[in-house]
Amino acid sequence: MSITLDFNGKNLAKGKSLHLHYLPAKISGDGEANVETYFNNYTREAPEYGSGMLNNALRGYPLVGERMKVPEGYKGLVLQETEKPLSESTDRQLRLTGVFDEFTYWNYDKVPSNGDPFRQAMLMADVAKALSEPISEQDLEAEIRRNLESKKENDS
């Protein structure tokens, strides 16, 4: 079984730019919605919450949001699987719907801050980068010597 991402560099460069909202609600069901008329039209700037903050409402529930960039060094993609796999072993393909560099992040009745799980999760990219940095032979040798010495000290 393999999953192929069915796009190359050329497709990416020409990819349609998408307008995204990250909503703080569980929605059961995918489908078309009149987002422009009933949601985008009501997005207002809300400087009382801080610079760049926006507000809106979803079914009467107050939302506070902000424009958020895709982390540095990353590109945002929306992929779509055209047909559901019949079994685990069939080859699958994910097609490119579009790309984005920015989206609107919405919180329910809470000003977006560094305390939000989403922002904290994005720090994982930096941590992973630190973890993946190769370690030089010299550093490794030094560490082995250091450990041996500290062992000797403990024994004596």
Partner 1 sequence: MSKKTTRSAKPKPDPDANIDTAAQKSTVAGLKKVLYISEKILPDDNQLLRLDRFYHPGKGKDALFLTNPDGQIMELLEYAEPRRSWLINSEICANGRVYMTIPMDTTLLAIHHLRKHCAQRAMSLDNIAVHEASTSRFLTQFIDSNGLKCVADAKTSGDLTFYKYNQERTLAWLALKTRHVAEILKQKQIHCGHSAQSQNFVRSEKLSDNVVNEMDYGRMACDIVGRYLDSDLHDQLIGYLHIPSEIQAIVEEKTAAQKRKSQVGLEGSNSKKIKLNSHDSDAASKLKLSGLLDSKNGKDCITSPPTMEPLKERSMTAKEKALAKGAKGTKSIASFFKVN
Contact 4, 89 (CB under 8 A): no
Closest to partner 1 by CB, 52 or 61: 61
Closest to partner 1 by CB, 2 or 156: 2
Closest to partner 1 by CB, 36 or 155: 36
Question: What is the Cα gyration radius of the chain?
Answer: 23
Smallest distance, partner 1 to C-beta of residue 139, A: 6
Smallest distance, partner 1 to C-beta of residue 22, A: 6
Of residues 15, 21, 17, the one with CA closest to residue 39 = 21
Smallest distance, partner 1 to C-beta of residue 84, A: 7
Of residues 34, 53, 27, the one with CA closest to residue 105 = 53
